[in-house]
Amino acid sequence: MSAEKFDAVDIIGIKRDRGVLSPEQIDWTIDAYTRGAIADEQMAALNMAILLNGMTRSEISRWTAAMIASGERMDFSSLGKPTTDKHSTGGVGDKITLPLAPLVAVFGVAVPQLSGRGLGHTGGTLDKLEAIPGWRADLSNEDLMKQLADVGAVICAAGAGLAPADKKLYALRDVTGTVEAIPLIASSIMSKKIAEGTGSLILDVKVGSGAFMKDEANARELAETMVALGKDAGVNTVALLTNMATPLGLTAGNAIEVQESVDVLAGGGPEDVVELTVRLAEEMLAAAGLPDADPAAALKDGRAMDVWKRMISAQGGDPDAALPQARESETIYAPADGVLLELDALSVGVAAWRLGAGRARKEDAVQAGAGVRMHAKPGAQIRAGQPLMTLLTDTPEKFERAKEALADAVVIGPDGSRPAQKLIIDRIS
């Protein structure tokens, strides 16, 4: 057995003492951890040093490149059309990927949307789509390429060959209190997206109680870091900072979010979901070389719905089948007259999770019909006794803990006591 090029303890010491790792040290670290030459406890110590002391832009860029190099890279050049993708950092009621992918594909741009499952209060795109009878998340690379050529849009699970170092590192960060390290978040997201091979990437970085990043300054730092990583790798990358103080749309769950997405594709749906879908589509199409495309028109005239049905059918789903419904429901009513000033995203997300719409561990099952249906959003006039939210689950013993999560979710007060909040906070390019 040949000797290792570096020593893990020395690498840890450099970051502990606020030093800068060389490109060679970074390459060795990622490779050695992936093949087991660095122990979990050593990488956990290094992750904590990075969380506390940060990394330079060049370090983060090289760390990301090393993670990409740990696996395969996809190549869509044979498609003969531009490719673009979107990544959201996750939020409550964030079903935007569902209408967005087929909407962008209307214009002849391929959308290889590799998505994940939910953990905790943020629902996963794949969990939502699996509420559709027959739909499958796992595609071979050949199936993915064929669907992109034929339909133009794919939403599926990422293959195991993309950035395997990230899969191992993410699992370790999750159990060692280092998930929040911005260099590690940025490199985790961008290593997969760059390895995916998309020509351009639009990032939706959420800010607020229901988001991973509660603080705008941290969210901005993450967005700027990821945009820089994309540009370093030659991927045209833009980020939007978007508001996640309030849930997106009027549903948080799985099947109920699919139905809301279908409503948007049919030319209706909640205003905020439509606004963000159209804005992200405009950004994706501009990045793909089509700045004059009109995605709002493609929602209204049914073209996006046509692509949605073809996309779902291509992955074994029945787009016309009835969606699962929860067996039990309970309604929460307004306690007073006034204006709905706040509807806290985190509280709604935790309630949906407790009702069965999310999972606490990766191996947990989710209930397709569980979740929270909201009947009003901030700014609405409210009357005492009016329904505010309907809780949905197959297991009624879950209602009590869900209601506990919602105890302080709603603030009702006089009109004008809180200014309206913007959905899109800023654009970072």
Orientation of helix 216-232 relative to helix 182-196, angle to 10°: 40
Q: Which amino acid is at 216?
A: E
What local confidence, expressed as pLDDT, does residue 120 receive? Answer: 65
Q: What is the dihedral of CA 280, 283, 285, 291, to 10 degrees?
A: 140
What are the beta bridge partners of residue 243? 207
Bridge partners, residue 206, by sequence: 242
Give the count of beta carbons closer than 10 Å to the beta carbon of residue 164: 16
Residues of the chain with pLDDT under 50: none
pLDDT at 171: 83
Give CA torsion, residues 43, 46, 48, 52, to 10 deg: -160
What is the pLDDT at residue 11? 97
3-state secondary structure of 72: coil
Q: What is the pLDDT of residues 111-164, one digit of tens each?
A: 999 888 766 666 789 999 999 999 999 999 999 999 999 999 999 998 778 889
What does the pLDDT read at residue 1? 53
Residues 6+ away with beta carbon under 8 Å from 262: 305, 308
Q: Strands across the sheet with 381-382, in order?
A: 381-382, 338-343, 410-413
- Burial group, residue 40, by CB count within 10 angstroms (0-12, 13-18, 19+): middle
| 364 closest CA partner among 372, 356, 375 | 356
Among all residues, which ones are annotated catalytic?
87, 166, 173, 188, 192
**Residue 327 has what pLDDT?**
97
* Cβ(338)–Cβ(154) below 8 Å: no
Tell me the C-alpha distance between 235 and 229, whole Å.
Answer: 9
Considering only CA atoms, which of 150, 89, 154, 161 is closest in space to residue 124?
89
Share the mean pLDDT of the chain. 94
pLDDT at site 154: 97
Element (H, E) at 340: strand 338-343
Query: How far, rounded to the nearest angstrom, does the alpha carbon of residue 138 sit from its chain's CA centroid?
Result: 18
**What pLDDT, on the 0 to 100 scale, is given for residue 160?**
77
Amino acid occupying residue 63: W
Instruction: Answer for the pair 354, 402: CB distance below 8 angstroms, yes or no.
Output: yes
Domains and CATH numbers, the chain: 77-161+196-314 (3.40.1030.10), 328-413 (3.90.1170.30)
Token reading at 310: 């073809």
Helix (H, G, I), strand (E, B) or coil at 234: coil
Which residue type does 142 have?
A: E
